[in-house]
Amino acid sequence: MDLFETIRKTIVPVHKEGYPFVAAFFVASLVLGWIWDPLFWVGLILTLWCAYFFRDPERVTPQDDDLVISPADGRVSSVQMVVPPQELNLGTEPMLRITVFMNVFNCHVNRAPMRGRVTTIAYKEGQFLNAELDKASTDNERNGLVIDSKHGAIGVVQIAGLVARRIICWTNMNEPLDAGERFGLIRFGSRLDVFLPAGAEPRVSLGQTAIAGETVIAEFGSAKGPVISRRS
């Protein structure tokens, strides 16, 4: 393999949603450089960070309808039983909620955790609290999807954070989604909650790093019980 081919496979494409931001950062770099040369390099570094933020790498998703795949890159910050948001119409009984928190260095393209049909899309205005806070799930701006899967209705909620001020959802009502398929994006730090019905067992632990479209975060129909992890 030659050097060019190695570089080509290493560079990750930028999602089209990031094009205006990357261009704006680069123009700002030129203006700053016109004012004072060292500022150009500062702006260029920020431009490269912006391109990195909007990266959209390919992922290899397990094809198994019993598996729940992480919808986001980031850290698993919560695994607990919680009543889902009212706007999702998933009932008043607690469901297994697995939360993945994304910082500003994570890839922010969101992917469907399971295959199914979108039956609900519910946007709700709110605050912009730290997305790691538990109350962010009820107080922050959010966009929720309900996907009718093989194992029943599951909820996926995009939640804005302190810096995130723009939730984007590309899918529409009654459209099918494959596991790992891109369905949205949140700009600049946020979190995703996945609500799962009875029968799902978590396959991740608090603090674990998850990769969107690849990491198995839960499983249906398994007798193994919750996963046990250790730090090393």
- pLDDT for position 9: 55
Residue type, 216: V
CATH of 67-220 given 1.10.3470, 3.40.50, 2.70.70, 2.60.40: 2.70.70
- pLDDT for position 164: 56
At 3 the three-state DSSP class reads: helix
Average pLDDT over residues 36-65: 86
Average pLDDT over residues 103-111: 87
Strands laid side by side in the 216-220 sheet: 67-69, 216-220, 200-202
- pLDDT for position 10: 58
The catalytic position among 29, 77, 190, 232 is 190
**Annotation says 137 is catalytic:** no
Domain ranges of the chain: 3-53, 67-220
Question: Per residue in 120-151, pLDDT tens?
Answer: 999 999 888 878 888 888 888 999 999 999 99
Question: Per residue in 61-91, pLDDT tens?
Answer: 999 999 999 999 999 999 999 999 999 999 9
- For residues 167 and 144, give the distance between their C-alpha atoms in angstroms, rounded to a whole number: 11
- pLDDT for position 165: 62
- How does residue 16 score in pLDDT terms, banded at 50, 70 and 90? confident
- pLDDT for position 97: 97
Structure tokens at 45: 């570094």
Comparing 213 with 7, the larger pLDDT belongs to 213
Handedness of CA 86, 191, 46, 127 (dihedral sign): positive
* Residue 48 pLDDT greater than 80, yes or no: yes
* Residue 93 pLDDT greater than 60, yes or no: yes
- pLDDT for position 214: 95
- pLDDT for position 22: 79
* Residue 215 pLDDT greater than 80, yes or no: yes
Question: Per residue in 150-198, pLDDT tens?
Answer: 999 999 999 988 765 678 899 999 999 999 999 998 876 689 999 999 9
Structure tokens at 205: 């632990």
Contacts of residues 43-52 at CB distance under 8 Å and 24 or more positions apart, as own/partner, are 47/22, 50/18, 50/21, 50/22, 50/25, 51/14, 51/18, 51/22, 52/105
Q: Model-level pTM?
A: 0.85
CA 214 remoteness from chain centre: 12
**Cα angle 66, 72, 74; round to 5:** 120
